[in-house]
């Protein structure tokens, strides 16, 4: 039976450093310009790495996880901009499927479709989705986050009763900074919950290698001109803690 090895990724070190600190028997492996951290969490073998921002960086990193470290499943965690009107800062989106919103090879291929693959939307693994949903709900219930995140940071970002949302995540190599971008995306992909810059590229690579995956995103801003001012503080003090607690729950 093939050994279970879980790959855990984030785009930024601030999104993943807390998970690295959970590792027992930690070792560092430098490949290219990435450091891959191997070890165990609750006796489960894991590989943790941050990819840097963007689809190319993420695709290269997950390919290395698959081909060099033989991962059997992948968890990506980090932040995203909220698109759906019911999302609030501090909410969590678990992607049921992912699409590259900046992929357009028309008229040769339909808009959003990956050329020569015949797919535009990549679905997350059902079992991992269920595991992720259960794990996330546990940290959102009974005010658990108030025990692990300082109250001043929850107040700073107006996080009081965060919720879990499941749905479409759209990825592209652009940061959404105004309502025009947001409304344009909703016109063509109205089911979009949030936007980020890596998930759908990770999903495509996992699809090509038959690796089950889930993408977990904490909403850091509203993907418009009202975006969170102190993005790095949010990532370090909020998103990073979310990732630690979710990963601990998934890997019990």
CA dihedral sign, ordered 94, 97, 98, 99: negative
Residue 32 has a pLDDT of: 93
pLDDT in tens, 97-108: 999 999 989 999
- Kindly state the percentage of the chain with pLDDT values over 90: 72
All structural domains of the chain with their residue ranges: 78-250
> Is 221 among the catalytic positions?
yes
* Catalytic residue (choose from 91, 198, 221, 222): 221
C-alpha atoms less than 13 angstroms from C-alpha of 17 in its C-beta half-sphere: 9
pLDDT reported for residue 225: 61
Residue 105's region, left for phi above 0, alpha for psi from -120 to 50, else beta, is alpha
Q: How far is CA 173 from CA 41, 45, 58, 146, 195, in A?
A: 32, 32, 11, 34, 10
Average pLDDT over residues 119-129: 96
Taking domain 78-250, whether its CATH number is 3.10.20.740 is answered by no
Bridge partner residues of 196 (DSSP): 171
Residue of 70, 5, 61, 2 whose CA lies nearest to 36: 61
Question: Would the pLDDT of 179 be above 90?
Answer: no
C-alpha dist (Å) from residue 113 to 58, 67, 116, 121: 19, 25, 9, 8
Selected catalytic residue, list 15, 196, 198, 245: 15
Stated pTM of the model? 0.93
pLDDT of 85 over the 70 cut? yes
- Is it true that the peptide bond before 107 is cis, omega within 30 degrees of 0? yes
230 is catalytic: no
């Amino acid at each position: 039976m093939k050994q279970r090895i879980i790959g855990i990724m984030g785009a930024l070190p601030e999104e993943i450093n807390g998970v690295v600190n959970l590792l027992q028997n930690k070792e560092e492996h430098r490949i290219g310009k990435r450091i891959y951290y191997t070890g165990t969490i609750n006796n489960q073998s894991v590989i943790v790495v941050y990819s840097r921002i963007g689809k190319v960086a993420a695709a290269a990193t997950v390919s290395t996880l698959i081909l060099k470290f033989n991962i059997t499943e992948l968890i990506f965690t980090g932040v995203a901009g909220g698109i759906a009107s019911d999302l609030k800062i501090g909410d969590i989106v678990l992607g049921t499927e992912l699409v590259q919103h900046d992929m357009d090879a028309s008229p040769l291929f339909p808009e959003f479709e990956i050329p020569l693959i015949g797919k535009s939307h990549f679905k997350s693994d059902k079992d991992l989705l269920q595991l992720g949903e259960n794990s996330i709900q546990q940290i959102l219930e009974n005010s658990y986050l108030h025990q692990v995140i300082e109250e001043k940071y929850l107040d700073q970002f107006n996080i009081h009763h965060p919720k879990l949302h499941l749905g479409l995540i759209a990825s592209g190599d652009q940061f959404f900074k105004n309502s025009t971008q947001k409304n344009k995306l909703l016109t063509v992909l109205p089911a979009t919950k949030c936007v980020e810059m890596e998930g759908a590229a990770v999903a495509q690579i996992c699809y090509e290698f038959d690796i089950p995956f889930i993408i977990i995103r904490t909403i850091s801003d509203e993907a418009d001109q009202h975006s969170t001012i102190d993005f790095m503080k949010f990532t370090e003090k909020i998103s990073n803690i979310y990732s630690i607690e979710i990963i601990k729950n998934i890997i019990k």
